Amino acid sequence: MTAISDTDDPGTVVRVDYLLFCILAFVVMTAAIVSQERWFLQFVHVISGVMWTGFDLFEGFVIGPLLRNAAPPLRREIIIRLAPRTLFLLPTLSIINPTTGWYLAGHLGFLGLQWPDFGWVAAALALVAAMTINGLGYLLPTNLRVCLELRKPKPDLVKIGRMTSYFYVAIAAQGTMQILTIIIMARFVSGI
């Protein structure tokens, strides 16, 4: 396997255009919160949740199994092109979705519920905290480290194996928590 040359370099890990899209997304989130328009806040919450959950599940159930069975050179090329995008997209969505969810829950009166109904809110908060720790604390740094290692002319495959030893378990856990969150959100929508 040869190193990526300048002519076929998929770009740097940190790209200005990805950063600008993230900034724009945070501006939209802020506008939704400040406007206090329920439909706008709900739209931003739902669309960010659909994107976050959809991408997590697609990555876990489609991309993950494909990568596990792909030839190492193909796997390397996919990861070094996919990782820079996910390094911006997923943290942005994972911040926007629960933030707008918190403000929406307050707007809809869910934060003032009494126990046991508040248990649904507590469960949603616990899942968001667990997904944040898993995503930002393990998945994101591991993706970054693997991407940087794979961009080297001679990546250390043993090192990558150590870094990713629990990666698929963490992705499966993230997907499971996403599905549980959808169940809770369906309960909110149908009435507590």
For the chain, where are the alpha helices, taking DSSP H only?
A: 16-35, 38-58, 64-69, 72-108, 118-134, 140-150, 157-163, 167-190
Per-residue pLDDT tens for 137-185? 888 888 888 878 878 888 887 887 777 777 778 888 888 898 899 999 8
The whole-angstrom separation of Cα 167 and Cα 189 is 33
Answer with the residue of higher pLDDT: 125 or 11: 125
pLDDT at residue number 8? 45
Cβ–Cβ contacts within 10 Å for residue 66, how many?
A: 12
Q: Is the dihedral of CA 135, 125, 52, 94 positive or negative?
A: negative
Per-residue pLDDT tens for 27-80? 999 999 999 899 999 999 999 999 988 888 887 778 877 877 888 778 778 877
> What is the model's pTM?
0.79
| Domain layout of the chain by residue ranges | 16-190
Per-residue pLDDT tens for 92-145? 998 999 999 999 989 988 888 889 889 999 999 999 999 988 888 888 888 888
Q: Say how far residue 113 (Cα) sits from the centre of its chain.
A: 29
